């Protein structure tokens, strides 16, 4: 069992999301916030596309030799005085972490942002066993107060408005003056800083994720802006790194290539504020740093993706660009996807991790506009892989008839004129870019995006309905 | 019962259709680890020394750090005292045992100096950088008693001394320097790349400086590193 999923009811979730005024207000800011910032910083680096190719090749090479790099990595961590633990699934990973916490006599555990931790449902497990987990990334802290999951892989609280966060802070921070002014986002940030500072200093164990693991040196890397991950891993006696097998990269030179595309794609920064390379526990003479350094390496279904049609997905560096540019994500937000990973990357990954029976709808949450693939720093063919899933679903006859043609969700969006316009515009936007650079702008923009992955003509207004009716008769 | 580890590796190898002992695969991995080939290096940082310094300064400032240039290590304490005074900060400073910092004439200032790691009660701390990357305005800090990691994160105001000679053009320039200092395949316990003061945009996508780490990052760039001896 991993984190609880509501993916089977994607459509109902999406309905609710569209009616949620707060959510729609917050999502408006995703549309505005991420896209222009990324583009501006990409435009400043002429080598960006060449770096994407370089990053893709590095990951392809690593995945093809993953067993050997993992072995080397393990050896190097041990040489540096750290311990490596392997977990086949979520349950094993939770068990290993709880065990380390127990041995350390831990009461509270601070946590840096980790999607793997969400994936394995770690917080609930720790809590159930008397260990209090405290999320320290501001966004994660906010959603923990609300007992919610993240709605975005790099901006977990992106679905919330300032007013909602203010009322959560007032509800939970009851030791503070109730008449204090929290009308500005800055005052919310300052309050969280103050509250969490105490938690950092009191924690017995710090748990972080890892953006990368380096085989050459046995190093784990976290990339953050707040500095919470560094306080999490520097102050307590024990540091636990929780990472999945595909975080591996061979050398420091290799990770340098991927770091260049990560920050730009994720937040539109030239470089994130803190890129931290950790190798083993405190050394002789060190005045600070953890006394124990553990790495828990999780498989949870990933090794089955190697060598198959979903292997490319293991290149994902969790930058979030695909969801930032996804019209469906813009419309319904991350929670509608019903599990830890939303947006296009989630639509591909979730069925492999929790089963196609639970998440079979997700690959249909797409307009096939192609923007996700065009911005993915690792050049992952997301639309193609969503199509793979749909073909599998078709073969398994798991979906009702309209779904089998991949139209259920499309129709759902198409029936809503505002959304339809949005998705169509998005398709035109991406194809006009493609068209300009690759000189193939022959067909109708949206039709091009649509027919590329489909064996019948593009649905367009009345024509679509007429064609659909005809097709139904023929079927 | 097989261990989780054995099982995981067996599964990996089954999916990859390999045994793990294929000579070619092993050789490919050994070669990549030994040679650490360079990838695409952006032209941006490929400049002469003066160009690198100008780029570093511009990029660090774009990331909301502030930069002062001084002519020699002897001028650092006065520059630091002036910075604290100009920002209405108390005349206190915590530092590690870095010999380059220790050799500076702190007595010429009225700064109250504390030494060792931070327990979270310091407003101001100073560290010496291992190096820097002009391409992105990034400082490279290494852990140890010289420059405790806690100084990079706990104090409100972090001041970093950087020798101009240690500013490389691109990210990759850090690694040969590090291998030279520590040996191939070795790393300090923590290597912190720092680009500007801490920040968060988790509330409505609005960016604010001063999340959990320092609210300000001030860099004192020492131009004449040679006289540091
Ligand atoms: S699939 Fe690509 S764009 Fe999406 S999170 Fe992964 S790396 Fe980023």
Distance (Å, rounded) from C-alpha A443 to C-alpha A440? 8
Structure tokens at B229: 């001896």
pLDDT at residue number A99 = 97
Distance (Å, rounded) from C-alpha B176 to C-alpha B173? 6
Q: How far, CA to CA in Å, does B130 sit from each of A171, A214, A465?
A: 45, 20, 66
Let me know if domain A59-298 sits in CATH 3.40.50.10420.
yes
pTM of the model: 0.88
Structure tokens at A284: 């002789």
Q: Is A160 in the pocket of ligand 1 (CB under 6 A)?
A: no
Residues of B in contact with A157 (CB under 8 A): 202-203
Residue B115 Cα to ligand 1 midpoint, Å, equals 44
Residue A214 Cα to ligand 1 midpoint, Å, equals 20
Specify the pairing of strand A248-249 against strand A212-214: parallel
pLDDT at residue number A12 = 83
Taking a C-beta distance cutoff of 8 angstroms, is the pair A286, B200 a contact?
Answer: no
Helix, strand or coil, per DSSP, at residue A52: helix
- Smallest CA–CA distance from A58 into chain B, residue: B39
B39 and chain A in contact, CB less than 8 A: yes
Distance (Å, rounded) from C-alpha A474 to C-alpha B203? 52
Contact A270 B28 (CB under 8 A): no
The number of residues making up chain B comes to 229
Which of B:185-214 have CB within 8 Å of A? 185-206, 208, 210-214
Q: Is A458 in the pocket of ligand 1 (CB under 6 A)?
A: no
Distance (Å, rounded) from C-alpha A467 to C-alpha A462? 8
Q: Dihedral of CA A179/A184/A186/A189: which sign?
A: positive
Burial of B200 (0-12, 13-18, 19+ CB in 10 A): buried
The closest alpha carbon to B102, from B69, B163, B147, belongs to: B147
Q: For ligand 1, atom 6, name the residue with the nearest CA.
A: A316
Closest atom, ligand 1, to C-alpha of A318: 5
Distance (Å, rounded) from C-alpha A284 to C-alpha A292? 13
Question: Domain ranges in chain A?
Answer: 7-44+311-469, 59-298
Q: Is A262 in the pocket of ligand 1 (CB under 6 A)?
A: no
- Smallest CA–CA distance from A71 into chain B, residue: B9
CA-based end-to-end distance of chain B? 61
Distance (Å, rounded) from C-alpha A338 to C-alpha A308? 25
Distance (Å, rounded) from C-alpha A93 to C-alpha A87? 5
Q: Is A347 in the pocket of ligand 1 (CB under 6 A)?
A: no
CA-based end-to-end distance of chain A? 40
Which residues are registered as beta bridge partners of B192? Answer: A276, B141
pLDDT at residue number A29 = 75
Structure tokens at A326: 């996804």
Residue A453 Cα to ligand 1 midpoint, Å, equals 20
The alpha carbon of residue A352 and the mean position of all alpha carbons in its chain are separated, in whole angstroms, by 15
Q: Could you tell me which CATH class the domain B44-228 is placed in? A: alpha beta
Q: What angle do CA A177, A183, A187 make, to 5 degrees?
A: 65
Distance (Å, rounded) from C-alpha A206 to C-alpha A238? 6
| Nearest Cβ partner for A253 among B36, B62, B214 | B36
Q: Dihedral of CA A443/A449/A454/A456: which sign?
A: negative
Q: For ligand 1, atom 7, name the residue with the nearest CA.
A: A316
Residues of A in contact with B145 (CB under 8 A): 285-287
pLDDT at residue number A418 = 52
Q: Is A380 in the pocket of ligand 1 (CB under 6 A)?
A: yes
Question: Domain ranges in chain B?
Answer: 1-37, 44-228
pLDDT digits (tens, 9 = 90+) for B35-75: 999 999 999 999 999 999 999 999 999 999 999 999 999 99
Query: Chain B closest CA to A151's CA: distance in Å?
Result: 12
pLDDT at residue number B1 = 59
The DSSP secondary structure of A230-242, one letter per residue, reads: HHHHHSSSEEEEE
> Which parts of chain B sit beneath pLDDT 70?
1, 225-229
Q: Is A385 in the pocket of ligand 1 (CB under 6 A)?
A: no
ipTM: 0.96
Closest atom, ligand 1, to C-alpha of A321: 3
- Give per-residue burial for A406-426: e unless 16+ CB within 10 Å, then b: bbbbbebbbeeeebbebbbeb
Contact B59 A270 (CB under 8 A): yes
B183 and chain A in contact, CB less than 8 A: no
Q: What angle do CA A357, A363, A365 make, to 5 degrees?
A: 120
Query: pLDDT tens string for chain A (475 positions)?
Result: 456 777 777 888 888 888 888 888 878 877 777 899 999 999 999 999 999 999 999 999 999 999 999 999 999 999 999 999 999 999 999 999 999 999 999 999 999 999 999 999 999 999 999 999 999 999 999 999 999 888 888 888 888 889 999 999 999 999 999 999 998 888 999 999 999 999 999 999 999 999 999 999 999 999 999 999 999 999 999 999 999 999 999 999 999 999 999 999 999 999 999 999 999 999 999 999 999 999 999 999 999 999 999 999 999 999 999 999 998 888 888 888 888 898 999 999 988 888 877 777 787 777 778 999 999 999 999 999 998 888 887 776 655 544 444 445 555 555 554 554 454 444 444 433 433 333 333 333 333 333 233 333 333 333 333 444 444 454 4
Distance (Å, rounded) from C-alpha A247 to C-alpha A314? 9
Distance (Å, rounded) from C-alpha A101 to C-alpha A79? 23
Which of B:3-22 have CB within 8 Å of A? 3-5, 7-9, 11-13, 15-18, 20
Residues 6+ apart with CB under 8 A from A194: none
The DSSP secondary structure of A110-160, one letter per residue, reads: EE---HHHHHTTHHHHHHHTT-EEEE-SHHHHHHHHTT---SSSS-TTTT-
Q: Where would I find the H helices in A342-460?
A: 343-354, 356-359, 371-375, 382-396, 401-404, 408-414, 417-438, 445-451
Distance (Å, rounded) from C-alpha A141 to C-alpha B202? 10
B127 and chain A in contact, CB less than 8 A: no
Q: Dihedral of CA A415/A418/A419/A425: which sign?
A: positive
Residue A61 Cα to ligand 1 midpoint, Å, equals 18
B32 and chain A in contact, CB less than 8 A: yes
Which residues are registered as beta bridge partners of A206? Answer: A110, A239
pLDDT at residue number A105 = 96
The DSSP secondary structure of A200-226, one letter per residue, reads: HHH-SEEEE--SEEETTTTEEEEEESS
Distance (Å, rounded) from C-alpha A399 to C-alpha A390? 9
Contact B212 A288 (CB under 8 A): no
- Smallest CA–CA distance from B156 into chain A, residue: A193
Q: What are phi and psi of B190, to 5 degrees?
A: -130, 135
* Interhelix angle A138-145/A185-202, nearest 10 degrees: 90
A58 and chain B in contact, CB less than 8 A: yes
Q: Is A318 in the pocket of ligand 1 (CB under 6 A)?
A: yes
- Smallest CA–CA distance from B178 into chain A, residue: A252
Q: Is A345 in the pocket of ligand 1 (CB under 6 A)?
A: yes
Query: The tokens 């802070």 sit on which residue?
Result: A169
Residues of B in contact with A297 (CB under 8 A): 8
Could you tell me if residue B164 is left (phi over 0), alpha (psi between -120 and 50 degrees) or otherwise beta? alpha
Which DSSP letter does residue B189 get?
S
Residues 6+ apart with CB under 8 A from B183: none
pLDDT at residue number A399 = 53
Query: The tokens 């009660």 sit on which residue?
Result: B121
Specify the pairing of strand B190-194 against strand B138-142: antiparallel
Q: For ligand 1, atom 8, name the residue with the nearest CA.
A: A319
Taking a C-beta distance cutoff of 8 angstroms, is the pair B83, B65 a contact?
Answer: no
Distance (Å, rounded) from C-alpha A6 to C-alpha B220? 53
Helix, strand or coil, per DSSP, at residue B167: strand
Residue A98 Cα to ligand 1 midpoint, Å, equals 30
* Interhelix angle A162-172/A138-145, nearest 10 degrees: 70
Secondary element (H or E) of residue A185? helix A185-202
């Amino acid at each position: 069992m991993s984190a609880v999923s509501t993916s089977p009811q994607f459509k109902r979730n999406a309905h609710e999301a569209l009616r949620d005024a707060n959510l729609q207000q917050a999502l408006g800011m995703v549309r505005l916030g991420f896209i222009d910032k990324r583009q501006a910083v990409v435009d400043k680096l002429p080598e960006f596309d060449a770096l994407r190719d370089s990053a893709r090749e590095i990951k392809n090479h690593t995945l093809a030799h993953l067993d050997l790099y993992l072995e080397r990595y393990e050896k190097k961590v041990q040489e540096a005085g750290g311990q490596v633990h392997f977990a086949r699934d979520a349950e094993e990973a939770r068990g290993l972490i709880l065990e380390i916490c127990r041995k350390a006599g831990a009461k509270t555990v601070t946590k840096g942002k980790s999607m793997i931790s969400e994936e394995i449902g770690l917080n609930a497990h720790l809590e159930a066993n008397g260990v209090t987990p405290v999320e320290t990334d501001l966004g994660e802290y906010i959603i923990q107060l609300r007992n919610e999951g993240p709605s975005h892989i790099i901006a977990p609280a992106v679905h919330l408005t300032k007013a909602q966060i203010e009322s959560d802070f007032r509800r939970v921070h009851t030791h503070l003056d109730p008449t204090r002014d929290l009308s500005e986002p800055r005052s919310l940030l300052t309050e969280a800083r103050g509250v969490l500072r105490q938690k950092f200093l009191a924690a017995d164990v710090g748990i972080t994720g890892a953006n990368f693991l380096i085989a050459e040196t046995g190093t784990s890397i976290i990339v953050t802006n707040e500095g919470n991950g560094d306080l999490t891993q520097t102050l307590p006696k024990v540091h636990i790194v929780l990472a999945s097998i595909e975080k591996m990269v061979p050398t420091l030179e290799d990770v340098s290539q991927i770091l260049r595309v990560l920050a730009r794609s994720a937040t539109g920064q030239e470089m994130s504020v803190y890129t931290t390379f950790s190798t083993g526990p405190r050394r002789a003479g060190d005045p600070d740093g953890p006394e124990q350094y553990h790495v828990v390496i999780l498989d949870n279904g990933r090794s089955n993706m190697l060598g198959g049609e979903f292997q490319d997905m293991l290149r994902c560096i969790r930058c979030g660009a695909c969801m930032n540019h996804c019209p469906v994500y813009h419309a319904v937000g991350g929670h509608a996807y019903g599990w830890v990973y939303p947006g296009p990357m989630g639509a591909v990954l979730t069925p492999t991790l929790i089963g196609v029976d639970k998440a079979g709808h997700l690959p249909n949450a797409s307009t096939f506009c192609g923007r996700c693939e065009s911005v993915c720093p690792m050049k992952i063919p997301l639309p193609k892989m969503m199509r793979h899933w749909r073909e599998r679903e078709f073969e398994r006859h798991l979906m009702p008839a309209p779904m089998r043609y991949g139209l259920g969700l499309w129709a759902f969006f198409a029936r809503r004129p505002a959304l339809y316009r949005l998705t169509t515009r998005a398709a035109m936007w991406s194809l006009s870019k493609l068209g300009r650079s690759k000189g193939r702008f022959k067909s109708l923009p949206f039709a091009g995006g649509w027919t590329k992955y489909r064996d019948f003509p593009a649905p367009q207004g009345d024509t679509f309905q007429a064609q659909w009716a005809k097709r139904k008769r023929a079927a | 019962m097989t261990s989780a580890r054995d099982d995981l590796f067996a599964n990996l190898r089954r999916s990859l259709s390999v045994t793990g002992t294929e000579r070619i695969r092993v050789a490919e991995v050994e070669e990549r680890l030994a040679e650490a080939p360079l990838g695409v290096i952006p032209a941006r940082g490929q400049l002469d020394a003066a160009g690198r310094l100008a780029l570093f300064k511009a990029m660090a400032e774009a990331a909301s750090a502030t930069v002062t240039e001084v002519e020699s290590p002897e001028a650092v304490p006065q520059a630091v005292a002036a910075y604290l005074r100009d920002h209405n900060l108390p005349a206190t400073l915590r530092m590690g045992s870095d010999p380059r910092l220790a050799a500076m004439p702190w007595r010429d200032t009225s700064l109250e100096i504390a030494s060792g790691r931070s327990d979270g009660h310091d407003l101001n701390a100073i560290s010496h950088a291992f190096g820097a990357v002009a391409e992105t305005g990034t400082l490279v800090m290494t852990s140890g008693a010289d420059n405790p990691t806690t100084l990079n994160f706990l104090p409100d105001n972090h001041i970093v001394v950087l020798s101009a000679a240690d500013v490389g053009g691109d990210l990759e320039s850090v690694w040969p320097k590090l291998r030279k200092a520590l040996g191939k395949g070795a790393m300090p316990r923590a290597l912190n790349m720092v680009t500007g003061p801490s920040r968060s945009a988790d509330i409505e996508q609005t960016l604010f400086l001063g999340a959990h780490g320092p609210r300000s990052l001030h860099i004192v760039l020492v131009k004449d590193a040679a006289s540091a001896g």
